[in-house]
Structure 1
Amino acid sequence: MPPPDSGLPTVSLDAGSLASGYQAETVPAAFGGDLPYWEVLPEYTRVTLQGYAISDHLHEPAIYIYPVRELEKVNEGARTVVSSLQSLLQSPQEIPNMPFLPLFNAGQMMHTHLQYLDFQSGQGLRYLTMFSQGIVPINNDELIYTYQGLTSDGKYYVAAVLPVTHTSLPADGSVTGSEPPEFVSDYAAYVANTAASLNTQAANTFTPDLTQLDAMMSSLEIK
């Protein structure tokens, strides 16, 4: 928890069997002309999950809690994401590029298993996605469950990045030659087909079970 005078929120979370515990820490603000835009951030809270079900993954399991006003002041890209999420929460729908923080130096390849989901202190949505800078297979080393939400008072943006895997996907982004033909001939079709296939898979066929991840995110309380 942050010190009483930090101005940052206190966080409570029920990780259930997904993790052995969690640690909330204050991350200092990062400014400066030499920083790439995706790293420019105000002071925020990062919640790291300990003993998470997946340990060998590109992404660390974490929940980021950003103060909206300060975030919008320092990062125009993040301000666009906040605005997109606000619009979707007012009028739920599916759009080609779903809102996502933290900002990555990579493109959102696809999204699947979109679901709108409230948490104790606000509203949000979750989906599975993967980011890439090039043409690679959708794979278990990079696939993530993400939750993107806003507290009811609009003060804080919640962004969860949680590794998830599925047995139908390759272990990593290596191109082995065993990919479907459209991987080479029509990459956009490959991505769309893989996303559609994942979307038909039951929540409990993923590791961790998506319903367990939903329950954890629904338990999040920010004060």
Structure 2
Amino acid sequence: MNWNQALFPQAGPLRVVQGEARREEPSFFPPTHLELQLQGAPDAYGIETTVSIYPLAALLQKYPEQTEGSVGQQVKALRSLLENPAPLNTAAAFRLPAIDTVNASLAVAGARKSLSSANLRGVRYLGAFSQDVRRFASTDVRYVFQGISRDGRYLVTVNGSFSGNVLPTRESLEGSGYDVAPQPQDNDKDRARYEGEVNTYFAGVNSTLDQSNSNPEVTRLDQFVELLQLR
């Protein structure tokens, strides 16, 4: 694998990560694959920005299921978006591929875009993952790319912190609280009120993330993906 070192001069080294035997869900145990760290975590709550290249046949052999949310189902969804990108901007967030992200669901996904080059095709977005309904801090947002090499042999992912958005800081949410809306009472009317307020909040977060579509940090990662050479 070759990459543009001028974009991330601190990246590397490229390393081989040995596969692990599949164990209890929902943890992700990929086959032996390549991994490259582009940059370290930006803060105590962030994650490293990492490129992973998985042999697709070996991955699907390890995860043959096609159930909702499974690795196989997400690869199928990714392939569908590569053939027909039109639904990318209208699909519910949890329908977007997030194959090597585990233990939480994709709750919001803005700044969605198709990326392609001579070597690969894929989709990228700015997303936030959660196990429950809550407000998101700026440190919750990730840059996510999910793609497949042109020859169909490799799944290529980029996953890292995105610090350029304008969501509230974690410190401010610690003061004001993480609740999106007052919890509903046990009746249909109040449950409908709560669901409406949650949907409005998520739509607002998506809109905020959309404004970062051309953020310099996003553009640099996009350029890295488009210039990536897998041979």
Query: TM-score normalised to the size of structure 1?
Result: 0.82
CA contact (8 A) 1:25 1:47 kept: yes
When the two structures are aligned, how many residues end up with a matched partner?
A: 207
Residue 155 of structure 2 aligns to which amino acid in structure 1? Y
Q: Give CA deviations for 1:100-133 in whole Å, capped at 9, x if unaligned.
A: 1203110101111111111341111111101111
The yes-or-no answer on 1:137 pairing with 2:135 is: yes
CA contact (8 A) 1:111 1:195 kept: yes
State the secondary structure of the residue aligned to 1:149.
strand
State the secondary structure of the residue aligned to 2:60.
helix
Q: 1:127 aligns with which of 125, 128, 144?
A: 125
Residue 195 of structure 1 aligns to which amino acid in structure 2? N
Q: 2:10 aligns with which of 15, 20, 33?
A: 20
The verdict on how the C-alpha distance between 1:134 and 1:128 changes in structure 2, with shifts beyond 3 A counting, is: same
Residue 227 of structure 2 aligns to which amino acid in structure 1? S
The verdict on how the C-alpha distance between 1:20 and 1:64 changes in structure 2, with shifts beyond 3 A counting, is: same
Q: What's the offset of the Cα at 1:19?
A: 4.8
Separation of aligned partners in 2, 1:101 and 1:167: 23
Query: Residues 71-86 of structure 1 correspond to what in structure 2 (within 5 A)?
Result: 71-75=59-63, 76=65, 77-86=70-79
1:212 equivalent in structure 2: 220
Q: Give CA deviations for 1:5-41 in whole Å, capped at 9, x if unaligned.
A: xxxxxx1111534452222111111114x43243232
The verdict on how the C-alpha distance between 1:187 and 1:31 changes in structure 2, with shifts beyond 3 A counting, is: same
Residue 30 of structure 1 aligns to which amino acid in structure 2? E
**Which one has the bigger strand percentage?**
1
CA contact (8 A) 1:57 1:141 kept: yes
The ranges of structure 1 where at least 4 consecutive aligned residues each deviate by more than 6 angstroms after the TM superposition are: none
List runs of 5+ in structure 1 lacking aligned partners.
1-10
Larger radius of gyration: 2
1:3 equivalent in structure 2: none
2:159 equivalent in structure 1: 161
1:65 equivalent in structure 2: 53
Query: Residues 108-119 of structure 1 correspond to what in structure 2 (within 5 A)?
Result: 108-119=106-117
1:198 equivalent in structure 2: 209
State the secondary structure of the residue aligned to 1:162.
strand
Aligned-residue sequence identity (percent) comes to: 22
Separation of aligned partners in 2, 1:218 and 1:165: 21
Q: 1:43 aligns with which of 32, 36, 41?
A: 32
Separation of aligned partners in 1, 2:9 and 2:44: 15
Separation of aligned partners in 2, 1:84 and 1:122: 16
